[in-house]
């Protein structure tokens, strides 16, 4: 007999609502049964622990050992707590694990192992947008967001700007880069200059096309909107950190008839870009741009490391959901009791 | 060397600031083995502030150069550039004058009562220009957002495909749940649908984006701090 959720899925050749509802209710039923089973095991664990009396478990010993490492002999300035902020240790461990994964996948990619990155329409559209501007004989506008250079999205935007500058130099198209921060301006000048040199066309660099407008958010926004209205760029590329000005820029660009590619990792601004732009690079896709465009093994390896970390993170989230559910239903139960009982290990 | 030195400095500063972030802050920094990293961190941040301040001069010189070029060639909208330069240097002049009169006490200032050129207060004229001219202009720009939201929503919410129909439905439910009377008209269902959509569907989607983006930030940060990523440096 086919399980209810699978039967529900098989019965929805036309993706009918009834099939979907049946599938979901079947899945819900299965999850409910699973959680009830976990609750039962957990409740048995509590009862059994109480019957066996108090005794130090393996997990308790592990915690005691970790406490001794943390506090040393109890003197001030002793133990790990004198060296490191122990509250931040999980973060440090996560970064180290991620760094190791990054190193492993980079080595694999450099050794020739093929790592595939799925097609991202927004990134393919970058070249299309520059090509369109070239055909129309109009400039490309690149907006690197409004944050300072210390923001990682702005630094990343400078890397993409270099690639865009290389393409515009190859095609002989003007590239206008308005900036809000004067430090970003110097970075943008260097990125455009390097892109032109990468293309073998250092003469394509026009210093006046990297423009400092204003340090104020809406004054900058008005300046960029003015460039869109006056100079009519055929392609607007907006990549970086954006705030409330995102929709004003995107809508002005839409009204000027330009093809628009936008991207940010700022989740609150994404709906505006999705609504107003032709292509949107969403969240993590933004940080895959240079790897996707250059296919450099070192960069591609870091994308795979990120994916693997997400798998670990997802597994931990699922485990957390199960444990939180069990905790909610069974007061007094410790999480290690639950894990040990789930895997059939007695104290 | 022109390329290696900046990379070396980036790696050293990056590692130093990372060590300061993770090192212990319990107790007196002088008594802690890695207390010196906190001092290095504060010093580097102070240097960064100085760099940022000096870079303003570069930004203003860029703005002035491009504006003067447009004005001299009578380019498109050149009068606006002229107004911008007048305001830029006018405001700078007012600020310098006010600072000067505070120090030397003309325009009726005394040690006890500082009088600005536009009235009582240390920065009366600067504040007047800022609050009476700049803030309303800024609010005008911001208020444009309401119209742009309407025009963008009009395009995005057209039911052309399954996805856009779902978007339209979600938008209608959210709007109904938030407008006055919407909840009463739907016997409380709109409010519950709003809470469910925002907490579970929207919340889950946002968290997924945040997790992905954070890993991207982490990967890029590590690549830069370890000197693997160099494309942000010029040739």
Supply the angle between the helices A152-171 and A121-136 in degrees, to the nearest 10.
40
Q: Are residues A147 and A291 in the same domain?
A: yes
DSSP A2-15: --HHHHHHHT-TT-
**Residue B149, domain member (yes or no):** no
Residue A23 lies in a domain: yes
**Partner-chain contact A283 B209, CB within 8 Å:** yes
Q: A272, B59: Cβ pair inside 8 Å?
A: no
Q: Which of B23, B27, B51 sits opposite A84 (nearest CB)?
A: B23
Largest CA distance in chain A: 84
| B161, B232: one domain | yes
Name the DSSP letter for residue B37.
Answer: H
Partner A contacted by B224 (CB < 8 A): yes
A104 and A169 together in one domain: no
For B157-188, how does the pLDDT look when each residue is reduced to its tens digit (9 = 90+)?
Answer: 888 888 889 889 999 999 999 998 988 899 98
Domain of residue B53, residue span: 1-75
Quick check: is A63 in a domain?
A: no
Q: Choose between B235 and A187: higher pLDDT.
A: A187
Residue A232 within a domain: yes
> Do residue B161 and residue B230 come from a single domain?
yes
Contacts of A302 in chain B (CB under 8 A): 219, 223
Task: Flag whether A136 is in a domain.
Answer: yes
A161 and A281 share one domain: yes
Question: What ipTM does this complex have?
Answer: 0.86
Segments in B123-230 forming alpha helices (H): 124-129, 135-156, 162-178, 182-185, 189-196, 203-225
Contact residues on chain B for A88, CB-CB shorter than 8 A:
21-22
Residues A137 and A265 in one domain: yes
- Cβ distance of B229 and A159 shorter than 8 Å: yes
Sign of the CA dihedral B105, B109, B115, B117?
Answer: negative
Is residue A73 situated within a structural domain? no
Residue B120 carries which DSSP code? E
Structure tokens at B69: 């070029």
Any domain includes A54: no
pLDDT value of residue A126:
92
Where residue B151 falls among pLDDT bands split at 50, 70, 90? Answer: very high
Among B144, B166, B191, the domain boundary falls at B144
B180 and B233 share one domain = yes
**Do residues B103 and B97 touch, judged by C-beta distance below 8 A?**
no
Residue pairs between chains A and B whose CB atoms are closer than 8 Å: 192
Cβ separation of A265 and B213 shorter than 8 Å?
Answer: yes
Rounded CA-CA distance B31/B27 in Å is 7
Q: A310 and A278 in one domain?
A: no
> Are A241 and A343 within one domain?
no
Q: DSSP class of residue A181?
A: S
Regarding whether A317 and A219 lie in a shared domain, the answer is no
| pLDDT (0 to 100) of residue A342 | 62
Give me the number of domains chain B comprises: 3
The whole-number pLDDT of residue B118 equals 55
Nearest Cβ partner for A83 among B31, B34, B57: B34
**In this structure, are A191 and A334 located in the same domain?**
no
What CA–CA distance (Å, rounded) separates B12 from A124? 36
Nearest 5°: the CA angle B158, B161, B163 is 90
Q: Helices H, strands E: what count in chain B?
A: 9, 2
CATH number at residue A136: 3.40.50
pLDDT at A145: 96
B25 touching A (Cβ < 8 Å): yes
End-to-end CA gap in chain B: 11
What backbone phi and psi angles, to 5 degrees, belong to B119? 135, -170
* Count of domains observed in chain A: 3
Task: Compute how many other C-beta atoms are within 10 angstroms of the C-beta atom of residue A227.
Answer: 20
| Pair B25, B88 in one domain | no
Q: What is the pLDDT of residue A52?
A: 52
Q: Is B32 on the interface with A (CB under 8 A)?
A: yes
A165 CB-contact burial (10 Å; exposed 0-12 / middle 13-18 / buried 19+):
buried
Assess if residue B27 is contained within a domain. Answer: yes
> Residue range B23-38: average pLDDT?
80
Are residues B166 and B216 located together in one domain of the fold?
Answer: yes
Which of A266, A295, A324 finishes a domain? Answer: A295
Q: Please report whether residue A71 resides in a domain.
A: no
Chain centre distance of CA B81: 24
CA distance B107 to chain A (A): 31
B135 touches chain A (CB under 8 A): no
Regarding whether A111 and A216 lie in a shared domain, the answer is no
Residues B65 and B124 in one domain: no
- Sign of the torsion formed by the C-alpha atoms of A17, A23, A24 and A26: positive
* Residue from the list A218, A226, A276 with its beta carbon closest to the beta carbon of B138: A218
Contact B107, B122 (CB under 8 A): no
User: Does B108 contact A at CB distance below 8 Å?
Assistant: no
Q: Which of B56, B218, B235 sits opposite A197 (nearest CB)?
A: B235
Chain A contact present for B83, CB below 8 A = no
Considering B96, B121, B144, which residue would you say is the last residue of a domain?
Answer: B144
CA distance B119 to chain A (A): 26
DSSP β-ladder status, A140-145 and B119-120: unpaired
- Any A CB within 8 A of B133 CB: no
- Boundary residue ending a domain (B115, B144, B173): B144
**B217 touches A at CB < 8 Å:** yes
* pLDDT of A76: 63
Contact by Cβ (8 Å): A205, A193: yes
Residues A240 and A281 in one domain: yes
Q: How many other CB atoms are found less than 10 A from the CB of residue A192?
A: 28
Q: Is residue B94 part of a domain?
A: yes
Domain that residue A335 falls in: 86-115+297-347
Residue B135, in any domain of the structure:
yes
Res A269: pLDDT: 94
For chain A, which ranges sit under pLDDT 50?
Answer: 1-21, 53, 347
Report if residue B152 sits inside a domain: no
Q: Sheet holding A235-241: strands in order across?
A: A210-212, A175-179, A140-145, A235-241, A259-264, A279-282
Whether residues B132 and B184 share a domain: the answer is no
In this structure, is residue A66 part of a structural domain?
no
One-character DSSP codes across A25-89? HHHHHHHHHHHHHHHHHHHHHHHHHHHH-----HHHHHHHHHHHHHHTTS-TT-SGGGTB-GGGH
Cβ neighbours of B55 in A, within 8 Å: 181-183, 185-186
Do A171 and A273 have their domain in common? yes
Same domain, A222 and A312: no
């Amino acid at each position: 007999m086919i399980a209810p959720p699978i039967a529900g899925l098989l019965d929805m050749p036309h993706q009918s609502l009834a099939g979907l509802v049946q599938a979901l209710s079947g899945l819900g039923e299965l999850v409910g049964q699973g959680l009830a089973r976990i609750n039962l095991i957990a409740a048995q664990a509590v009862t059994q622990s109480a019957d066996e009396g108090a005794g130090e478990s393996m997990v308790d010993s592990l915690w005691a050992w970790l406490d001794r490492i943390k506090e040393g002999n109890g003197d001030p300035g002793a133990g790990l707590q004198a060296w490191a902020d122990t509250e931040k240790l999980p973060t440090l461990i996560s970064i180290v694990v991620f760094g190791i994964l990054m190193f492993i996948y980079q080595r694999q990619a450099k050794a020739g192992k093929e790592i595939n990155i799925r097609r991202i329409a927004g990134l393919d559209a970058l070249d299309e947008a520059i090509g369109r501007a070239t055909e129309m004989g109009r400039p490309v506008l690149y907006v690197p967001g409004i944050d300072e250079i210390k923001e990682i999205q702005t630094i990343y935007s400078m890397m993409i700007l270099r690639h865009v500058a290389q393409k515009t130099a190859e095609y002989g198209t003007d590239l206008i880069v308005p900036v809000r921060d004067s430090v970003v301006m110097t970075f943008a000048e260097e990125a455009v200059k390097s892109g032109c040199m990468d293309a073998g066309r250092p003469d394509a660099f026009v210093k006046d096309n990297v423009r400092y407008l204003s340090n104020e958010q809406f004054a900058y926004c008005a300046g960029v909107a003015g460039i869109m209205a006056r100079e009519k760029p055929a392609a607007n590329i907006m990549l970086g950190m954006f705030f409330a000005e995102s929709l004003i820029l995107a809508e002005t660009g839409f009204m000027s008839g330009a093809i628009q590619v936008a991207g940010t990792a700022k989740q609150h601004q994404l709906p505006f870009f999705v609504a107003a732009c032709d292509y949107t690079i969403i969240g993590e896709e933004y940080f895959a741009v240079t790897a996707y465009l250059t296919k450099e093994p070192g960069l591609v390896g870091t994308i795979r490391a990120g994916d693997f970390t997400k798998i670990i993170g997802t597994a931990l989230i699922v485990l957390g959901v199960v444990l939180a559910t069990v905790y909610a239903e069974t007061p007094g139960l410790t999480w290690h009791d639950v894990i040990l009982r789930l895997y059939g290990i007695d104290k | 060397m022109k390329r290696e030195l900046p990379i070396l400095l980036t790696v050293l500063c990056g590692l130093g600031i990372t060590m300061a972030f993770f090192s212990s802050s319990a107790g007196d920094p002088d008594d802690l083995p890695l207390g010196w990293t906190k001092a290095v961190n504060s010093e580097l941040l102070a240097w960064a502030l100085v760099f940022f301040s000096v870079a303003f001069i570069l930004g203003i010189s860029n703005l002035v150069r491009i504006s003067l070029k447009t004005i001299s060639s009578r380019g498109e909208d050149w009068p606006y550039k002229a107004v911008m330069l007048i305001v830029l240097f006018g405001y700078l002049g007012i600020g310098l004058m006010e600072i000067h009169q505070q120090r030397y006490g003309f325009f009726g200032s005394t040690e006890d009562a500082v009088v600005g050129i536009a009235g009582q207060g240390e920065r009366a004229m600067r504040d007047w220009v800022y609050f009476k001219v700049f803030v309303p202009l800024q609010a005008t720009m911001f208020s444009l957002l309401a119209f742009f939201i309407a025009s963008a929503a009009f395009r995005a919410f057209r039911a052309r495909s399954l996805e856009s129909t779902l978007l339209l439905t979600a938008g209608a439910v959210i709007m109904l749940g938030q407008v006055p009377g919407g909840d009463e008209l739907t016997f409380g269902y709109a409010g519950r649908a709003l809470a469910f959509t925002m907490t579970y569907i929207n919340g889950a989607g946002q968290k997924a984006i945040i997790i992905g983006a954070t890993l991207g930030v982490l990967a890029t940060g590590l690549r830069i701090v370890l000197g693997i990523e160099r494309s942000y440096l010029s040739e």
